Amino acid sequence: MNQSGSGLLIAILAVVGILLVAAALLFYPAVSASAGGTPGVTAARVSASLARNPGGVNALVTINAGSEEIRSFDLTRLVIPGMGGGPLMPYAVGPVRAGGSVTVTIPFRGPAPAPNALMSLQIEYQYRTRWFGKGAGSSGVTSVLP
């Protein structure tokens, strides 16, 4: 192999090596909702409540980002047994700043339950953080409607 061919091969190998190092530095482990997650990183938390509206019930879903920015957040399942309506799934909520929160109000239609009725809401979600971080979870809420 001649001198210029060796130089080109070394340059290509150097570029590939730099790209591998850059990819390794950009990789960030997935945020975990379990206790075994990344130290110092708080995963997304989801809470919800139910409230009456003239045509049925509103689900108020709050997404708390924790210590890391959420690039995209999607509700993949949102169900109040016995009620119709709600958004088409997946429902894209969008980004949430680190330390911030977003509340989404989603109406469900149907006959309003009796006062002090016990109702449940089932939520499933997924989200992405940074370059490669992602998480998912589910939550169930039971609420008494006044």
Asked whether residue 80 is assigned to any structural domain, the reply reads yes
Q: Residue 19: which pLDDT band, with cuts at 50, 70 and 90?
A: low
CATH number of the structural domain spanning residue 104 = 2.60.40.10
Burial class (CB in 10 A: 0-12, 13-18, 19+), 57: buried
Asked whether residue 62 is assigned to any structural domain, the reply reads yes
What is the per-residue pLDDT across 21-68, written as a single tens digit (0 to 9) for each? 555 545 444 333 433 445 555 678 999 999 888 888 999 999 999 888
pLDDT at 28: 42
Query: How many structural domains comprise the chain?
Result: 1
pLDDT at 33: 41
**Residue predicted with more confidence, 16 or 109:** 109
- The domain of 98 spans 45-145
What is the per-residue pLDDT across 60-100, written as a single tens digit (0 to 9) for each? 999 999 888 999 999 999 999 888 888 889 999 989 999 99
3-state secondary structure the chain: CCHHHHHHHHHHHHHHHHHHHHHHHHCCCCCCCCCCCCCCCCCCEEEEEEEEECCEEEEEEEEECCCCCEEEEEEEEEECCCCEECCCCCEECCCECCCCEEEEEEEEECCCCCCCEEEEEEEEEEEEECCCEEEEEEEEEEEEEC
pLDDT at 138: 92
Asked whether residue 15 is assigned to any structural domain, the reply reads no
What is the per-residue pLDDT across 99-140, written as a single tens digit (0 to 9) for each? 999 999 999 988 878 888 899 999 999 999 887 888 999 999
pLDDT at 84: 82
Q: For residue 63, what are the CA distances in angstroms to 36, 67, 103, 125?
A: 21, 13, 6, 10
Q: Phi first, then psi: give them for residue 3, nearest 5 degrees.
A: -60, -45
Asked whether residue 37 is assigned to any structural domain, the reply reads no
Asked whether residue 66 is assigned to any structural domain, the reply reads yes
pLDDT at 76: 94
Dihedral through CA 118, CA 84, CA 79, CA 99, nearest 10? -100
